[in-house]
Structure 1
């Protein structure tokens, strides 16, 4: 088999994996790119790690899938989630909160959580704040695989929208490498994405 044919086959398989991973993320609530890619590759019988697409390729396929199959529903859901994110960012203003993840980048699927990062002197300060505000929350175990895991992950519902709050040490704010937006940027994003009636 020629290397050009092999490269073309690998490219086609990467596209298939991207499309299937994107569908899983849009329809099944899978939020982890790596998990979606590996599961899609397994389902398609791909065994070579070189055939796995990049996160950017899967994100492009996800945007395409949502535009074709979920356009109106996705726009309305994204707008509602961004409205809820604005309220949560206002509430968490004392903790220098940022919106991150799929709600920020516009790829939030049906089962997505609003991802918020906050930077506090102590995660306990945020928990005490929640108790004083009568906000019920649950703890999730932070992944230790990341370079700088959060001190705590608190999960709660805000107007029936799930929110995942990652609380980091205040000094970590300058070192964060994720795409993120403060309240004013999210408000501008919201104004730009008003649903068409």
Structure 2
């Protein structure tokens, strides 16, 4: 293995360990922190020494399979049930579930990522306030097609799990964002699709349970 490839793999493994053991949620944060442990030269390198998010997720999946083979399915089921609760609650905003709870790559500190669609972010704020649901707001700036766009994110908490709701305009619902992990169109699930995933999980669990 080339020295460059070996360093790249070591950084991916360290970033995955940070996400698993230190509960760092963002791939970019874990990647940069891991790179710094191999010296300032590597931490500043934006080239081939730095692994892709997909490589880090592959290493994270390996850790989860190694350490949480028994606990992970139950955790994933509980997170998906909680996500379904909010997809149904906020149905008027035509929500999608995205991220780790949909992909299945969940850790103890995974949050639930939901995309909402509204003409005005205040519609979502008013909706949550009317139901006495505490939340915090943040304005997030992202770059798309050479332009910088601002989006409002709302953060809720339920059963100790953070639920991040990113608010887009209805016109953007048909534009599928690119995944920061695969580079391909992001996987999304509405409530109907999520119910099917949950039903399939329960069916599989029942088939594996001991018979009397």
Please report the TM-score for the alignment, with normalisation by the length of structure 2: 0.82
Superposed CA RMSD: 1.8
Match in the other structure for 2:24: 30
SS of equivalent residue, structure 1 residue 110: coil
SS of equivalent residue, structure 1 residue 155: strand
Match in the other structure for 1:190: 198
Distance 1:150 1:31 in 2: 22
Distance 2:48 2:109 in 1: 30
- Kept in 1, the 8 Å contact 2:139–2:153? The answer is yes
Distance 1:181 1:129 in 2: 22
- 2:160 matched to 1:166? no
Give the superposition deviation at 1:22: 0.9
Q: Which has the bigger relative contact order, CA under 8 A and spacing at least 6?
A: 1
Distance 2:198 2:137 in 1: 29
SS of equivalent residue, structure 1 residue 17: helix
- Kept in 2, the 8 Å contact 1:114–1:162? The answer is yes
Could you list the runs of 5+ residues in structure 1 that have no partner in the other structure? Answer: 1-6
Q: Describe how 1:1-197 pairs up with structure 2 within 5 A.
A: 8-45=2-39, 47=42, 48=45, 49-142=47-140, 144-147=141-144, 149=149, 151-177=151-177, 178-194=186-202, 195=205
Could you list the runs of 5+ residues in structure 2 that have no partner in the other structure? Answer: 178-185
Question: Which has the larger share of helix?
Answer: 1
